[in-house]
Amino acid sequence: MNRAREHSEPGSTHSGRRSKRGWAMRALAGGALAASLVLTVSVPASAASPSVRTDPAGDTLIKDAPGYMDMVSIQLAERGGMFEFQMSVAAPVPAAPPLPPPATKGISWNWGLDTNPTTFPAGYPLPPGLPGTVEFVITITWDGSAFRAFLVDRRPLLTGGQAVITPLDYTISGTLLQVDVNADAVGNPSSFGWGATTTYSSGPSGSGGLQFVDEFSPFVAPWPS
């Protein structure tokens, strides 16, 4: 089901119902975490011990990338059997973001989960045969006409199968993006590594037409922290 748009101006709130789409996610991690700006994000009082990671504003890999592709913080909390993923960016997400080259097919805001550090699924949403560190990907994407959100389970790739895509609900409110994921959908892990990226896409997911706009370094950090 496609989301119903609820606003037409940046900074107001909109939310999405469930839909299906492809995704692309970071394969490698490296570097040291820089934290020069902390953006506080409110969570429900029932959320226990949320983990927050910060990223400097203005550090995008692509010069002059818009502020809504520039991450400044991410947050993860577990509440009532749900994982709540949040991302704050440097500028409000527009109701209809432009797609500047090389983002000719879409833009995405992404979280990745490394639930098994001994496995490296190869393939979707990465190019065929290319291994990645994460078993699960959560993404919100804009394809030029609609926002969508979904979960990619990459574990079947380890045994020659195909990644499983599950639609998700999402919320975008100004500079804050949020997706809630049922813990059972990601194997109900008690701990895992997690990180986030923003990306431009110039081709279908899995085709190699992916460019990273911003990323956390190191990409994977432990949860709970």
**Which of these, 141, 137, 138, lies nearest to 107 by C-alpha position?**
141
May I ask the CATH architecture of the domain 13-37+49-223?
Sandwich (2.60)
Mean pLDDT of 76-93: 96
Q: 149 near 171, Cβ under 8 Å?
A: no
Interatomic CA distance for residues 177 and 159, integer angstroms: 33
pLDDT tens, position by position, 11-33:
435 567 543 333 333 433 333 22
Interatomic CA distance for residues 60 and 56, integer angstroms: 9
Share of the chain above pLDDT 90, in %: 63
Query: One-letter amino acid identity for 154?
Result: R
- Tokens of residue 61, six digits: 């890999």
Q: What is the DSSP letter of 131?
A: B
Write phi, then psi, for 172 (nearest 5 degrees): -125, 125
pLDDT tens, position by position, 207-219:
567 889 999 989 9
Query: What 3-state DSSP class applies to 185?
Result: helix
Interatomic CA distance for residues 171 and 166, integer angstroms: 17
The CA-CA-CA angle for residues 30, 35, 39, to 5°, reads 125
Interatomic CA distance for residues 110 and 126, integer angstroms: 13
State the pLDDT confidence band at 204, using cuts at 50, 70 and 90: low
Domain locations along the chain: 13-37+49-223
